[in-house]
Amino acid sequence: MWRHRSRSRSNETMACGARRLTAFVLVAALLSGCSPPPDLADPNRPVKIVVLGDSLSAGFGLPSGASLPARLEQSLKNKGFAVTVVNAGVSGDTASDGLRRLDGSIPGGTEVVILELGANDAEQGVNPSVTKAALGSILRRLKNRKITVLLTGWRAAPTIGPNYGRAFDAIYPDLASTYSVGLYPFILDGVAGNSRLIQFDGEHPNALGVDVIVAGILPKVEKLIARVQAARG
């Protein structure tokens, strides 16, 4: 009997301590001007999306509000989705660069990643096997973290040569099949070659071009959000 009472008192003491710790964390957060950490058990919390990419994601040459992540977030919210979309695009990044900064760019609580890398690899003539290995490592690590992924593809310029082009273009469908992730075959679909949608550099989309990209990927992103919300139970 004595041991039973001692164990009960110990449990009560631990529970009380846990309540005090929780209260302390909340008060400290409020006093520091920070919001309390989100309740990850709340099934109605916003879906956190990160766009991991290069200048096409970073919004090269555009105001911050016209970048791909910003316009995607606004479009989803306009359709009634509770989301936050984080811009993790770095101009000039290759797939290997994205792999090196993966952990720092994809914080805890991320549920969806839009993986947009490879354009700089093709531009620099990186061996397609190197690009594929880097993207594969990213996908594998995201899968281990149970993060849902939309992979956006890229097409090598014809001037690089047909053999390189065939090898490079095959990277994205092959990886999407291997890792069972969603695929948007070409990130500049409907934009590339249209001077009305491209900046003066002839490469990067302008604000109108970004909106075309968003409209193209939106249905696939909506499906991923629905899958994430359903998995929350």
Do residues 91 and 60 touch, judged by C-beta distance below 8 A?
A: yes
SS3 13: helix
SS3 218: helix
Do residues 189 and 201 touch, judged by C-beta distance below 8 A?
A: no
SS3 86: strand
How distant is the alpha carbon of residue 132 from its chain centre? 18
Report d(CA 138, CA 141) in Å as an integer. 5
Identify the active-site residue in 4, 42, 180, 201.
Answer: 201
Identify the active-site residue in 75, 96, 204, 211.
Answer: 204
Token digits of residue 29: 């957060």
Identify the active-site residue in 54, 55, 93, 96.
Answer: 55
The residues, ordered by sequence, that sit 6+ positions from 116 with a Cβ below 8 Å of its Cβ are 51, 52, 53, 54, 56, 57, 68, 89, 152, 187
Report d(CA 49, CA 86) in Å as an integer. 6
* CA dihedral (70, 225, 75, 48) positive or negative: negative
Token digits of residue 133: 């290995």
Query: Catalytic site residue 4?
Result: no
Catalytic residues: 55, 201, 204
